Amino acid sequence: MDPIAALEEIAASAPGLVAAAGTLDELESVESALLGRSSRLGEVRRAMGSLAPEERPRVGARLQEVTRIINELLAERREDLEKGEEEKRLRAEAIDMTLEAVTFPRGSLHLIQQTIDEVVDIFIGLGYLVADGPEAELAWYNFDALNTPPTHPARLESDTMYLDWGAPEDEVLLRVHTSPVQARWMESHEPPVFIVVPGRAYRNDTIDATHLPVFHQIEGLAVAEDITFSDLKGTLLHFAREFFGPTTTVRLRPHFFPFTEPSAELDVSCFSCSGSDPNCRVCGGSGYIELLGCGMVDPDVFEAVGYDPERVTGFAFGMGVERLAMVRHGIESMKHFIENDIRFLEQF
Amino acid sequence: MRVSLSWLKELVEIPDLEAEELAHIFDMIGHGVENVEVLEPQWTEVYVGKVLEVEPHPDADRIRVCRVETGRGPTQIICGAWNFEAGATVAVARPGAVLAGGLEIGERTIRGVESKGMICSERELGLGDDHTGILVLDGEPEIGSLFADHVELPDVVFDLDITSNRPDAMSILGIARDLAAYFRTEYRLPEVDLTTVPGDTSMRVDIDDPTGCRRFVAREIRKVSLGPAPLWMRHRLHKAGFRSISNVVDVTNYVMVELGHPLHAFDADRIEGDHLIIRRATEGEVLVTLDGEERSLHPDDLIIYDDVGPTSMSGTMGGERSEVSKATTRVLMEAASWDPPTIMFMSRRHKLLSEASIRFERGVDPNLSELANRRASALVAQLAGGEVLEGYVDEATGTFEPWTVDLSNRDVERLLGPGIESGEVREILQRLGMKVDGDDPLKVTVPTFRPDLSRPADLIEEIARIHGFDEFGATLPRGPAGGLSPEQARLRRLLHSLASIGLHQAIALPFVSVDSLTDLGWEGGEEDLLRVRNPLSAEESLLRPSLLPGLLKTLGYNLARGAGDVAIFEVGRVFSTDPDPDDPRLPAQPRRLGWAVVGEVGPRVLESPPLEADARISRAIWQYLARSLGITEYTIVPATSPGLHPWRTAEVRIEGQVVGHVGELSPRAARAYQIPRRVAVAELELEPLLRPVPLPQLRSPSPYPPVDFDLSFVVTIDRPVAELIKVTTQAAEGLVETARVFDEFKGEGLGETERAVAIRYRLRAQDHTLSNEEVAPVREAMIRAAETVGARLRGAQ
């Protein structure tokens, strides 16, 4: 047969053969059938030597061309088949990604801890240090140094838990607030003082939705030569905006605490309704949330710790951590905080 | 304290404001508003009427026919009440009126007689519970006037939270004074018009306890007739939250609310003898108080005695024996000022918090006693028809002079900042009742009713309060340098590390019982524990010496609620009876870290068997934590600890010091806590974990290839693998990069206490490629080293 005609025939048949290969294995057979030694193309190649010299360039060129076409066809088909086979393989590996087949455990910090850390960080940003102190505390630091004389009702056993320990003149109790740390810190540090004191406090209260015998407070104290009431207001405004959002406003109402003068309670505008919802779950429709007690440090407190009230002024504030967490997270009962139900803990 | 606007307006001029605006003002001057009640008359079309005639009903026995004038000519009304006769002034609902509860009044015919309207009882008007008869008005109210005008309706009642430093503000007068300062208006004292009859009271009073009683004023009132107080007084007291008792008792309450000075009315005829003595009680004495309770007196109680014994508990509650009753005709009206702490302790000792005692414990001005007594006596004379004797008792144990406080401009500016004019300072103080002289400093004379104002700071608070807290700007001071201490930062890292491997932080109450400790194998007694003298409950009167009881209780709580796997930790103080090293006046109260884990832990994989908590998990948690905290210098040494599994527990030592135990709860303790599972537990001292560690210094990863080989040793269970790894590593003289146990086998071919431990070692040199020739003798040295700790190469004999 005329080699050129043979090549044309091969070229014409190749696409059909290549396309018929349904797997990579079949394609390999097709490849050897088309290009292998014993293929018709192979025969043409081998017969090249016996062609007339003037025939050779023409047949040779065509041979190369057909070989190239077939290789292209094969490559193209191989790519298709490989893609298909990979698709099949991947399909076989299908994982239901909606199924939680592997879970990493996630623990949690107690919501009280998280709240404390968040508040503390705000004050660290304002240049405060973090102080700590004993929970079993001397009555002196808990009361006397804070201008609360022995005749004050807060010192009664109905309010404060006392411990059977120590010398009679050094009465020991479970601190009722974190404020004794103020006194301890000032005794051992020179002004200026900028501290926050997170910690536990104790009261002789039975457990109910709004009382715990053990709860947490964050105390703040700033003492320097020129601290004014406006500084107290500005500091608490800054805190409230960081904690509740940038549009929060605050309101100070006069109040009474033995260790500050003037004393105030701080209300913050309701972060939930901003005063627009008369039935608001957070503020009860008042538009404000009562948040904490504060005031200018009483001169008697400075005297008790050896500071000169003629030289320094300062402010102090104390907030209930449970309350902060409750208003922010819609928690209706303080009991959650000490039950340690995993279903509570893991939500935060 | 409940303050009605109508009463307040009697003593101070108040601009016309909405209830809400006024409430805001109360809040902003420091009298927190707990509640605002807007009171409206619960009726329409009720007028003051005069009964002209009363006649029997022709056809009924129980009702009568009245002719009543209500300003539009006489009207006929049928009435079923019998407590009035012709001439009485009454409240009449005209036809078309609607009364409390929606009762509509019309014209109707009762047994053939026409009735146009109704004569009302207190209950029908919603003014009280009295329905025994109709309401008979006293005085001479204008016939045909609106009845509502005579009971001060509509009205607003503010329930104020008066702070404990303001005894003076527990009165209409005190609130009026604050409002006068706020509104820059005037307040006035009530007018007292006391007429007396000549003569001295025969009563004598001796104050044997000058500390307890500051002043005692008593007037004798004769020919008193007890009965109900007039409507206006009853209604004012009702709004203030008091129950009406009788004219005499109501007067004492009325004056207490009005002026802030409590009073007590004795039946003078029921006082034995005419000599009262005020002194502390004697142990064993008993007094029956007004409420019928028999009270055993305490030697610190301050008591009023008559000739036969205790007759009244001063400032707290009167005695039953000398109580005024319907039969009383001779009243001894007492207005005394008592020592605040005495009353505070006494009233709390007897659980007798009364309106009087809460005022006395905050401090009642002795200079107010005479006025309060005069006011009350005058009212009794006026309302109960008595005669007040001119000569009265007024015993005092001191003089009560106003005091002076120097207030400089600088003081004000230091605390409040610039911006408050000295003129305003002066005006505020004056309006609050102070006398202000001088210029700078101001000489401020403080009246005795303000015991809370003794220092410049106290006056500055008054200035700020009336000036308005809202008026102050907001400035932001910054501290010199803030931040967490290294220990505080490490604590945060510790907490987050534990949370990151699945543990939840718990916060338990620190109170425990001895049983909860005995269950943990604790051998001490109650005397070894710190005890709360006045605990919430007897069972939990002790402070925890360990975190474990709380952690285990929490596990139990969660398991009982259906949780299968619980992993918790706590960081908190434990308490001991030893003195605290930092302050020996205090008991030691170190912080600790503890955990308790039950059930599945670690990553959970659907098809793999769960990893259940046991001692190994505790060990793993420790190791993870140590690595997170950069603690490398620690050892794990098998040990025992009460309540823990004797063969599954180890000490953790940091730099040789034992910091606590990690391991597993003993089965006995687990049973006692009703946790029938393996519980991984640990308790460690916190402070050693927080001590800063040296900064890690780089060891450059070697670029040379490693040599890995495995050694399998047979070693008994009581020879710790840690020891084996330590000696073999040392023997390799710094070439061991890692040594990891990859198999532990017990059983066939091994002795009962033996196990085979397979360790994969990776050796690598820092500066060259290790050759086999180099490694072979090292390997031999490692095997020989293992033999020194009782291990032999597996397969070798």
The helix or strand, by DSSP H or E, that contains position A193, with its residue range, turns out to be: strand A193-202
Q: Average the pLDDT over A7-17 and give the result.
A: 91
∠ at Cα B651 (B650, B655), nearest 5°?
140
pLDDT at B255: 98
Residues of A in contact with B601 (CB under 8 A): 105
Per-residue b or e along A300-311, where b marks 16 or more CB atoms closer than 10 Å to that residue's CB: bbbebbebebee
Q: Which residue has the tokens 């700790």?
A: B789
Give me the mean pLDDT over the A324-334 stretch. Answer: 94
Residue B797 has pLDDT above 70, yes or no: no
Dihedral angle, C-alpha A61, A62, A64, A67, nearest 10 °: 180
Which residues, numbered 313 to 342 in chain A, qualify as contacts with chain B under a Cβ-Cβ cut-off of 8 Å?
313, 337-342
Other residues' Cβ atoms within 10 Å of the Cβ of residue A228 = 22
* For A203, nearest residue in chain B (alpha carbons): B536
pLDDT of amino acid A281? 86
- Kindly report the number of other CB atoms within 10 A of residue B371's CB atom: 18
Do A299 and B461 count as a contact with CB atoms less than 8 A apart?
no
In order of A255, B69, B167, B317, B452, the CA distances from B364 in angstroms are 20, 48, 7, 16, 12
SS3 A196: strand
State yes or no: cis peptide before B418, omega within 30 of 0: no
Q: φ and ψ at B292, to 5 degrees?
A: 85, 0
Nearest CA to CA, how far is A222 from chain B (Å)? 8
**Cβ proximity of A237 and B473 under 8 Å:** no
Q: Give the torsion sign (CA, B609, B613, B617, B622).
A: positive
Convert B715-753 to b/e letters by CB count within 10 Å (16 or more is b).
beeebbbebbbebbbebbeebbbebeeeeeeeeeeeeee
**Tokens 């338990």 map to which residue?**
B508
Token pair of B35, please?
Answer: 């509640």
User: In a mutagenesis test of the B interface, which of A162, A205, A228 is the best target, namely the one with the most B β-carbons within 10 Å?
Assistant: A228
Min distance A148 CA to chain B CA atoms (Å): 12
The answer to whether the CB atoms of A136 and B535 lie below 8 A apart is no
* A165 at B interface, C-beta within 8 A: yes
Q: Tell me how far apart the alpha carbons of residues B666 and B648 are, in angstroms, rounded to a whole number.
A: 9
Residue type, B271: I
In the predicted model, what is the mean pLDDT of residues B733-746? 94
Phi-psi region of B30 (alpha: psi -120 to 50; beta: other; left: phi over 0): left
Which residues of chain B does A161 touch, with a Cβ-Cβ cutoff of 8 Å?
532-536
Residue A181: burial class (beta carbons within 10 Å; 0-12, 13-18, 19+): buried
Given an 8 Å threshold on Cβ–Cβ distance, is B585 in contact with A129? no
pLDDT for A226-251, tens place per residue?
Answer: 999 999 999 999 999 999 999 999 99
Task: Say whether the ipTM exceeds 0.90.
Answer: no
How many residues comprise chain A? Answer: 348
Give the CA distances from residue B558 to residues A343, B21, B516, B552, B564, in Å, rounded to whole numbers and listed in that order: 9, 50, 18, 10, 8
Measured distance CA(A229)–CA(B468) in Å, rounded: 12
Contact criterion met (CB below 8 Å) for B351 and B316? no
CA distance B768 to chain A (A): 41
So what's the pLDDT on residue B530? 95
**Confidence label for A149 from pLDDT (cuts 50, 70 and 90):** confident
Strand partners, B740: B760
Span B482-531, pLDDT tens digits: 999 999 999 999 999 999 999 999 999 999 999 999 999 888 888 889 99
Tell me the average pLDDT of chain B. 94
Cα gap B354→B318, rounded to integer Å:
11
Q: CB pairs under 8 A, 24+ apart, for B281-286?
A: B281/B310, B285/B309, B285/B310, B286/B310
Chain B residues with CB under 8 Å of A172 CB are: 585-587
**With 70 as the cut, is the pLDDT of residue B641 above it?**
yes
Nearest CA in chain B to A157: B534
| pLDDT digit string, tens, across residues B676-712 | 899 999 999 999 999 999 999 998 999 999 999 999 9
Per-residue pLDDT at B597 = 98
Q: What is the average pLDDT value for chain A, to the nearest integer?
A: 93
Can you tell me which residue has the tokens 């508003």? B33
Give me the percent of chain A exceeding a pLDDT of 70: 100
pLDDT band at A77 (very low <50, low <70, confident <90, very high): very high
Please check the confidence at residue A1 and state whether its pLDDT lies above 80: no
- What are the tens digits of pLDDT across the range B607-623? 999 999 999 999 999 99
Give the C-alpha separation, B285 to B277, whole Å. Answer: 15
pLDDT (tens digit per residue) in B28-53:
999 999 999 999 998 989 999 999 99
| B287 pLDDT above the threshold of 80 | yes
What is the C-alpha separation between B375 and B333, in angstroms, rounded? 11
Q: Using CB atoms within 10 Å of the CB of residue A75, give its burial: 0 to 12 exposed, 13 to 18 middle, 19+ buried.
A: exposed
Rounded to whole angstroms, how far apart are CA atoms B499 and A298? 42
Q: Which pLDDT score is estimated for A282?
A: 86
User: Which residue's entry shows tokens 């002079």?
Assistant: B401
A57 phi and psi angles, rounded to 5 deg: -60, -40
Q: How many helices (H) and strands (E) does chain B have?
A: 19, 41
What amino acid occupies position A4? I
Q: Specify the length of chain B in residues.
A: 797
Residues from chain B contacting residue A254 (CB–CB below 8 Å): 28-30, 461, 464-465, 469
- Of the candidates B482, B485, B489, the one whose C-alpha atom is nearest the C-alpha of residue A128 is B482
For residue B258, the model assigns a pLDDT of 98
With CB atoms and an 8 Å threshold, state whether B484 touches A130: yes
Sort out which chain A residues have CB atoms less than 8 A from B25's CB and list them.
none
Instruction: Please return the burial class of B360, using the count of CB atoms within 10 Å of its CB with bins 0-12, 13-18 and 19+.
Output: buried
Beta bridge mates, B713: B757, B793
Task: Decide if A181 touches B, using CB distance below 8 A.
Answer: no
Instruction: Check residues A279 and B131 and name the one with the higher pLDDT.
Output: A279
Alpha-carbon Rg for chain A, nearest whole angstrom, is 42
- What's the pLDDT at B529? 93
A 59-118 → B contacts, CB under 8 A: 99, 101-110, 112-113, 117
Q: How far apart are CA B504 and CA B501, in angstroms?
A: 9
Segment among A111-120, B78-87, B192-201 with least mean pLDDT: B78-87
Q: For tokens 């190749």, name the residue.
A: A14
Distances (CA, A) of B70 to B86, B154, B366, B569, B639: 14, 21, 48, 79, 99
Instruction: Collect contacts of A85-90 with beta carbons under 8 A, ≥24 apart.
Output: A85/A23, A85/A24
Nearest-Cα distance to chain A for B642, in Å, is: 25
Q: Exposed, middle or buried by CB within 10 Å (0-12, 13-18, 19+), for B591?
A: middle
Q: Tell me whether A275 touches chain B (CB under 8 Å).
A: no
pLDDT at B796: 62
Sheet holding B736-745, edge to edge: B736-745, B754-763, B707-716, B792-793
Q: Scanning every residue of chain A, which has its alpha carbon at the shortest distance from the alpha carbon of B502?
A: A107
| Position A16 pLDDT exceeds 90 | yes
Percent over 90 (pLDDT), chain B = 84
- The predicted pLDDT at position A301 comes to 95
